[in-house]
Structure 1
Amino acid sequence: MKFTIHQSSRSGGRPVNQDRVAYSYSKNAVLLALADGMGGHHHGEVAAQLAVKMLTGAFQQAAQPDLPDVVEFLQAEIMKLHEAIHQLAENRGLPETPKTTLVVGILQHNTLYCAHVGDSRLYHFRNGKRLFRTEDHSIVQLMLKQGKLDAKSMLQHPDRNKIYNCLGSELTPSIEISPPYPLEAGDQILLCSDGLWAQLSDERMQDILNSGLGIAHSVPSLLDAAERLGGKNMDNLSAIGVQWESKAEQPLTISTLEMSLAQSHTILGLAESAENSAAATAADLDEEDIERAIAEINAAIKRSRH
């Protein structure tokens, strides 16, 4: 298995970055995760951090070196994450449960699997054309499906930033798992938050990704282009880009040929900002809070099985 990957997250015009990105890989599988903590709710960045930390941890344990059932893994682990967010809020007596969107991609045996909750997106491109894009769990997307809006009106609608499905909500989230898609050498996978896709059309994304300079160049270029259009008050923006089985070796190309069956690696993304939101989070909630919530949820699940 060989792939080239680059991830990045920026604060945009906001004082705190509530986005989180991460990827993890074993000998035969790759997990990509992007969470966008919801800014209208307290501690959105904590919910997003918990999301990527739990998912990559679960992947490391389960992918040895494959995930036996990818769909079951996604369904179970995302629901466990939702419960852990509530556990975290209960442990700390928070007045409001933190909330986050989530999009996850898993690449295994030349197949792409995807799950999402909310309006963070996954795109699949081949030969400069978009094959697939997740459908937002947003008010305007729902109105479009119901014939109450056209695509052009969605861009200016006052509810364009409102979503009806997220992790940490009072309602049980609806986890949308897309059909598996076959991967071919050279395919490009892009995960991004709404801070990015709200500024760039699919066509513009395709143009930048197919500049011929590689993922290490095109992902920062996507963020640069979105920031120029978004201006000083724009949202946080994040992306993970992957080029699958590329023939040309690039600086960020990863080959798992020499990995042992039990090995795995995880890379958690850091925000590109002097005022990293981790510092803002640490004042209220720290890694011990997150670890405790994860442990308590895992213990509760084990008890329910006996």
Structure 2
Amino acid sequence: MRKDNSEFKTSFSSEAGSFIQNKDYFAYMELDDVACWVVVKGLDSDQEVKSAELAVKGILEKFIEKPSMSRLRIKKYIKNAQEILQVQSLRVRLKASIVMVVSDYSRMICAVAGNSRFYQFRNGRLFYKSNDQSLAQGLADKFGFSVDINRHEERNNLFNYLGKPNDFQPFVSKKLKLMDGDVLLLCTSGIWEEVSEIEMADALEGIKESEQYTDILEEVLLSRQKRIINNYTMVSIFADKIYQENKKKKLKYIKIIAVSLFLVLLIGGSTIYYKVKEAKKIAEVTAEMFDHEKTGNLYFQDGNYEGALKEYSEGRNAAKKAKNPIHRNLLAKKLRISQLIIDGDKEAKEENFSESVSKYEKAKGEGKLIRDFGTEVIEQRITNMDAVVQIGESVKEGDFRFEAEDYNGALSIYKKARKKALDISYSGESNIKLKMEEAEEKIAELKKEQQELKAEILEKNGDRSYDRQDFAKAIDSYTLAQEIFQETDLLAKVLSIERKIMNAKDKLNPPPRIEPVAPPIAPVIAPDTTPTFAPATEPVEENQLSDDGT
């Protein structure tokens, strides 16, 4: 076991300085074959959530699961801490500066994000130092030693840190060989701002124990007698004896690695193909996730919470497929807020106002966890609840009048209640509108019945006038009755009255009577009684012959 065949001594000091709360945190773990030391300085203002502690525990949690000296694995340790801070950034954005060292007792790797530092001393001299990820460090890299990073006003202006929303890029060194007697120092800005590198090296003179070293550095810090002392943490690791590698065993490992590398290259083509395919799929799902979230936000802004609920649900499912826990949790919270608003509106519509307010309060609390999402809308709903109660009471009064068949009174109350509902965008407005329509229908039915009754009375008056043979008055009554029946769409009655009008008109204006005319009598001419005489002729004897003998 490497640990048993090496000797590493660790000592630390972490104090709040002039402040009540110490936002620094340190922890380490020495396993049989590998060890890990982590120092984190909290940079945020959250007084309840301890970002430094969360980060350290997040790193060591993953380290215990898979302890390794791999640079890729170390980046995953840090990435886990990064994700934890992002998820826990509910009230404010959690931020922290980290320095960590992982060692197999013969070599080491240091990692930095922010301006917490790592120093390696060998033979009493500074051998290696990490670089800050700050604007001051950038200026020093550009202009050389003309910039004193420890005193520069931009030394805390970091371009990379734990909790950064985008493009988080921690520095992870190559594997650095250790030697017997090396001294490693991890510290936060509270130390290096006040204790110079020369003083750190000088303090090693004649020192054999790590505890003595941290005590001396703390004395140097406090000797400055500053009015305000910031939180500070320092960890010294004395590598009195490192693990000696077995060269034969190392050669064996090299051969195994060579064979493994050959096999990897042999099957690497297919692996790369599937990795590329998987990456493409994740990219597509991620784009889908953002599309659903964007659409859901638009629906939410428009007050379409049902639509927002559906989009957030789809987006959360896409986040799960994309293995994006941050957006998965974010969309889950938006989903819950939308559902609580819908439930609150439903309770308000059913006039369960106390339950409605409870739902809104829960939604408001959830919204505060993600940058006051939807809180303005929710607070407006809570504020409007008094008006909603008044509307509910008015509707009840309107219902009472409706049941008492005072439809005009009910309609008047419903109209006032609906106006209030529209003013506050009350979701129960549509229900009030339906009640208004019912009241209007009842009023219309009553008016129709009144008109029909009036028309029937006019028809009866017309019948009586007709019976008295006052046909002109009967026609007037029938005409008025017919107009009313026509307005009420009683066509059968319209036709019936039309026949009565025609009969009355016939009686009032009968057609002229035509007397029958006798045919003319031909004149009678009296017969002529004067006797007529025929001229006298001689009698002809029978068988008398003519002159010619015939």
Fold in common (TM above 0.5): yes
Using the TM superposition, give the Cα deviation of residue 303 of structure 1 relative to its aligned residue in structure 2, in angstroms: 8.3
- 8 A Cα contact 1:19 1:35, kept in partner: yes
SS of the counterpart of 1:241? strand
Match in the other structure for 1:238: 233
Deviations 1:109-155 (Å, cap 9, x if unpaired)? 50010111000001111110111000011111111112288234x45
Query: Residues 49-99 of structure 1: CA distance to partner in whole angstroms, max 9, x if unpaired?
Result: 011111122222212xxx2x521121112112111111112xxx31x2110
Which residue of the partner structure matches residue 55 of structure 2?
A: 51
Q: 2:40 aligns with which of 15, 35, 40?
A: 35
1:11-90 counterparts in 2 under 5 A?
11-39=16-44, 41-43=45-47, 46-63=50-67, 67=68, 69-89=69-89
1:8 aligns with 2:13: yes
Q: Distance in 2 between matches of 1:182 and 1:44?
A: 41
Change (3 A) 1:45 1:9: farther
Q: What stretches of structure 2 of length at least 5 have no aligned partner?
A: 243-318, 325-550
Provide the residue aligned with 1:143 in structure 2. 139
Q: Name stretches of at least 5 consecutive residues in structure 1 with no aligned partner.
A: 248-299
**Which residue pairs with 2:187 in the alignment?**
192
Number of residue-to-residue matches in the alignment = 243
What amino acid is the match of 1:163?
A: L
Superposition TM-score, scaled by structure 1 size: 0.73
Aligned-pair identity in percent equals 23
Relative to 1, partners in 2 of residues 1:204 and 1:149: Cα closer, same or farther, differing over 3 Å?
Answer: closer
Q: Looking at both structures, which has the greater relative contact order when contacts are Cα pairs under 8 Å and sequence separation is at least 6?
A: 1
Contact residue 124 and residue 189 of structure 1 kept, 8 A = yes
1:304 aligns with 2:308: no
1:84 is paired with a residue whose SS is helix
- After TM superposition, the structure 1 = structure 2 runs for residues 105-254 of structure 1, keeping only pairs within 5 Å, are 105-147=101-143, 150-152=146-148, 154-229=149-224, 231-246=226-241
Alignment of 1:260-279 (within 5 A): none
Q: How does 1:91-102 map to 2 (within 5 A)?
A: 93-94=90-91, 96-102=92-98
Judged with a 3 Å threshold, the aligned counterparts in structure 2 of structure 1 residues 107 and 12 are, in CA distance, closer, same or farther, namely same
Are the counterparts in 2 of residues 191 and 240 from structure 1 also a CA contact under 8 Å?
yes
CA distance in 1 between counterparts of 2:172 and 2:78 reads: 11
Return structure 1 stretches of 4+ with deviation > 6 angstroms.
300-303
**Distance in 2, Cα, partners of 1:115 & 1:83:** 17
User: 1-side partners of 2:136 and 2:64: how far apart?
Assistant: 37
SS at match of 2:133: coil
The Cα shift of 1:228 comes to 2.1
**SS in structure 2 at match of 1:147:** helix
CA distance in 2, matches of 1:28, 1:104: 17
Matched residue of 2:218: which SS? helix
One-letter code of the match for 1:83?
Answer: E
Specify whether residues 179 and 84 from structure 1 end up closer, same or farther in structure 2 by C-alpha distance, changes over 3 A only.
same
What secondary structure, in the 3-state scheme, does the structure 1 residue paired with 2:74 have?
A: helix
Letter in 1 for 2:323: S
Conserved 8 A contact 1:118-1:164: yes
State the 1:186 CA deviation. Answer: 1.1
Q: Cα gap change, 1:45/1:26 in structure 2, threshold over 3 Å: closer, same or farther?
A: same
RMSD over aligned Cα atoms:
2.4
Asked if structure 1 preserves the Cα contact closer than 8 Å seen for 2:59 and 2:80, the reply is no
Equivalent residue letter for 1:119: N
State which structure, 1 or 2, has the greater radius of gyration over its C-alpha atoms.
Answer: 2
Distance change in 2, residues 1:76/1:26 (3 Å): same
Looking at structure 2, the residues matched to 240 and 195 of structure 1 have their Cα atoms a distance apart, in angstroms, of: 13
Q: Which amino acid aligns with 1:140?
A: A
The alpha-carbon deviation at position 302 of structure 1 amounts to 10
More helix by proportion, 1 or 2?
Answer: 2
Q: Is the 8 A contact 1:195 1:238 kept in 2?
A: yes
- Matched residue SS, 1:216: helix
